[in-house]
Structure 1
Amino acid sequence: MQHTSLEDQARTLEATGAYRVLRRIAPLPLETHVPRDQTRVGLFLDLETTGLDPACHEIIEFGMVPFVYTLDGRILGTLPAFNRLREPSHPIPPDITALTGITQERVAGKGG
């Protein structure tokens, strides 16, 4: 029996066109010292919401991971991440909890 890596399995799923596989961003310590005029700071942003309609659905999780990259696009490392939960004004729908893993209990009492 041949074992394939998780990344190989993800690529196989994506190649079908029927799946999009999300990957976690692993912390990458910023160890390389490159002059500031040769680098930029970017930001990975992730929002979880109670639905897709911004007129009536609310943000329940806000996450950011800043990263430093070179002018040619090479990522040098990440900076400290930020993450906050927020309790919405209406209960989180069960399908959103199934998708995000965010429960009403996790957001209870969390302010925006």
Structure 2
Amino acid sequence: MGFNRHGKRKGKFVFIFFAILLGCGLLIALLQYLWNTLLTDIFGLRAISYWEALGLFILSRILFGRGFGKSKNGFRRNQPLEESMSEEDREKLKSEWRKRFEEKWKC
């Protein structure tokens, strides 16, 4: 009985692994397709191969995303800055912004 449960868990893991691989492969193929159909006509860039699209995807995740895992600063990704601050820090930030904008926009 325990062997059967372990086998199901292993099968589920293998299915999820291959589903993720297939999803990533389709995402890279979509990136390649969009690049080759849009950017070659709009900006006159050359067409790219599948592996160049993979490199472009990885580079864009590194530069514009937050990497591939958890956020680097420990906060939730979509959490506003004010929610992660203490009340004292929040007031200090607000007063600093007021001071900057009052100086800049005085009439």
Give the TM-score normalised by structure 1.
Answer: 0.20
Which protein has the bigger strand share? 1
Give the TM-score normalised by structure 2.
Answer: 0.21
Which protein has the bigger helix share? 2
- Higher-RCO chain (CA-CA 8 Å, sequence separation at least 6): 1
